[in-house]
Chains A and B, each alone.
Chain A
Amino acid sequence: MIPVVLATLAYGLALTLLVSRPWLRTHPKRMALALAAICALLHLPVLGISLLVVLRGVLGDLSIVTLVFLTSLFFQGPRPLLPSPRIFTLMGFAFFLLSFGLSPLHPYAWGYASAILPCLAGGLAFLLWLRGRYAFSLALLAALLGWRLHWLDSTNLWDYLLDAPLVVVALVHAVFCALPKSPFRRGKMTHPD
């Protein structure tokens, strides 16, 4: 039940943010209504199958970190995107490449019952809090909490910290930031952290 609720919320937030326009984003009530409508639509069966079932079947569940970021984006309006997109892109790419089985390293295995990964995640959350990056820190802590309480179908901590759609978005954002005419480079938009 909890995984379905969280998946509905995560995909609902993502789709709401994707389809929303500035005139909608400036009205919190309209945004909330749009979110509720999209969450309901996610469960509407079309030809016997709902969009949520297709998304969960093809993409899987989004991570808790993604859910926290989406929530943060939803409440903060159009200003921030992902915190530290370059770090996410690098981490994500290294992680997924190593998981493809082409090297002896298999970092995904560390996410099951090892104490190392939760300690690293907690340590990173600690450092981020000290540096004032509270949203990022809270996202990591929520992931740790969710992992321990088994909020998703997965028992692997990595699935609470990271997901492929998040890495793809981070990559697109990092590339966008690197472009000469990017609004990020001209100071029109700022990163939250």
Chain B
Amino acid sequence: MTGMARLGFLPRAYLRRYRCLTVLPLAGIVCLTLWASWPAFFAPPPRFALSPLPASQAEKTPRLESAVINQPDPLRVHAASIAALPDGRLFAVWFGGQREGSTDVKIYAADYQNGAWSPQRVLATPAQTTADTGRFARKLGNPVAFVTPRGELWVVYVSVALGGWAASHLNLIASPDLGKNWQPARRLVTEPFLNLSTLVKGAPVFFENGDIGLPVYYEMAGKSGELLTLSPAGEVRRVTRMDHGSRSLQPIVLVETPTRAVSLLRDTDDLPPHRVWRTETTDAGLHWSPLAQTDLPNPNAALAALRLEDGRLLAVANDVESKRFRLSLLVSVDDGWHWRVLHRFEDKEAFAGRQQERGAFHALLAEDLRTLGQMPDPKAVLLNVERNLCGTGPHCIWRYGYPYLIRAADGDFHLVYTWNDGFIRHLRFNEAWLEGKS
């Protein structure tokens, strides 16, 4: 059998007749290769866009406001994120269902306008994600909302077809009119093996050319943070890993200059000490330094952080090595190596290490409710939290986690986090309150 005949699906007579023209296919191969690789030769190196400076706050009175965003149904909620919209509104998303990972989990959203949160609404479901992407999605997970440099509101969220979180995919839904209308969800292809195992948690960073850098993470055989770069149209431009092995995930990226940024990562190492990991880039995320431990304790829990205009880093984290009974505001003046506590948003350290009787738990919970601010029916809140934290046993434990922190254009800070598994708490504080704690 001749080589030409191996083409199989072309007529042999045709191939024999034009055998003398073998140079043409070779020239075609060279041209096609050059054409395919051409754009990469002229791609400029990426540069981070620096966040615009927030408005200087004339208000000198310290202010800390609290609200609960969601309703008691569904029973469990988690992984909230919040975006400040250009028109002054806030937009929050989270997932909720009977339990994390159940097939009834949906992505919920609410708006904050004129000092109050709107009723929650469903933003995405497994069925809708399946219909939009043309790919089966059985359950949903972490969503992250943000406004792109083009002024569109995007939500990137996790879906799973089979298996657990290690088998996650990312999906993107975009709203060109800041949440009034949403385009169909589309799947982001980010991993080679069946596109499995990319999840999202951290707030995005932006590039000078309008690209969006989304801190994501991989957790299948290994666990590591990644910086996923998307074009303004939502196409994946590149993925860079921050580490290898299985000691870290859920990165937060804090940009300092157009080429330099620090990333802080959740600790997933089996071995103590359990500390937040730190890495940095000097080429706008193309390469990352080897991970090093900071002095901030971490109980294998997500953290949130942002950079202030004077260079200080601000973080909200569970600053303990085990469990999530405390959530603190911390500051670092040395680029994330060392941290000092400014304030405890939640602290049940007195009950750490021992389970609590329901009676004592009720009393403390009722006390907490007085500080929550806007919320649904307090009885429903109590019932929900008790079901989540006490289960069917006689004892209860407290849980606060998954913080997400942003700073709006007016200078106010907005923090959302999971409050006792059943509610998304929103805290808003101003610069005067922060400086009062410093």
- A residues whose Cβ falls under 8 Å from a Cβ of B: 4, 48-49, 52-54, 56-60, 71-72, 75-76, 80, 95-96, 99-104, 106, 108-109, 112-115, 118-119, 121-123, 125-126, 129-135, 137-138, 141, 144-145, 147-148, 152-156, 158-159, 162, 164, 192-193
Contacts and interface: CB of A to CB of B under 8 A. Distances in A.
A109 B6 CA distance: 34
Nearest to B223: A101
A146 to B, nearest CB: 10
A150 to B, nearest CB: 8
Contact of B137 (A57, A100, A108, A129): A57
B192 A58 contact: no
B33 interface: yes
A131 B29 CA distance: 14
A58 B239 contact: no
A113 B136 contact: no
23 contacts: A53-B134, A54-B161, A56-B136, A57-B130, A59-B194, A60-B189, A100-B220, A108-B192, A118-B33, A122-B30, A123-B33, A126-B30, A126-B33, A129-B25, A132-B4, A134-B4, A141-B32, A144-B33, A154-B189, A154-B236, A155-B235, A164-B194, A193-B6
Interface of B: 2-4, 6-9, 25-26, 29-30, 32-41, 43, 127, 130, 133-137, 161-162, 186-187, 189, 191-195, 218, 220-224, 235-241, 244-246
Given A75-B9, A112-B238, A193-B6, A58 B40 contact: no
Contacts of B218: 101
Nearest to A145: B32
A110 B223 CA distance: 20
Given A122-B32, A129-B26, A159-B189, A192 B194 contact: no
Main secondary structure of the interface of A (DSSP, over half): helix
Given A60-B195, A100-B221, 18 more contacts: A54-B136, A56-B134, A57-B130, A58-B136, A60-B135, A100-B220, A102-B221, A109-B241, A112-B236, A123-B33, A126-B29, A135-B6, A138-B7, A145-B36, A148-B36, A154-B236, A155-B237, A193-B6
Contact of B29 (A72, A95, A129): A129
A154 B198 CA distance: 14
Contacts of B244: 101-104, 106
A152 B187 CA distance: 11
Q: Top 7 nearest A-B pairs by Cβ distance?
A: A122-B33, A132-B3, A101-B222, A57-B136, A115-B40, A154-B189, A100-B221
Contacts of B245: 101-102
B187 to A, nearest CB: 6
A85 to B, nearest CB: 16
Contacts of A126: 26, 29-30, 33
B134 A4 contact: yes
A101 B221 contact: yes
Nearest to B219: A101
A99 B191 contact: yes
A119 B33 contact: yes
A113 B40 contact: yes
A141 B31 CA distance: 11
B36 A122 contact: yes
A135 B7 contact: yes
B39 A57 contact: no
B227 to A, nearest CB: 10
A95 B192 CA distance: 9
A158 B192 contact: yes
Contacts of A122: 29-30, 32-34, 36-37
A108 B198 CA distance: 13
Contacts of B26: 126, 129-130
A78 B8 CA distance: 12
A101 B189 contact: no
Contact of A100 (B4, B37, B187, B222): B222
> Max chain B CB contacts within 10 Å: which of A101, A102, A147?
A101
B135 A56 contact: yes
A109 B190 CA distance: 9
B19 to A, nearest CB: 11
A112 B9 contact: no
A108 B7 CA distance: 30
Nearest to B38: A115
B8 A192 contact: yes
A53 B126 CA distance: 13
A123 B187 CA distance: 31
B136 A96 contact: no
A191 B135 CA distance: 34
B36 A58 contact: no
A58 B138 CA distance: 10
Nearest to B218: A101
Contacts of B136: 49, 53-54, 56-58
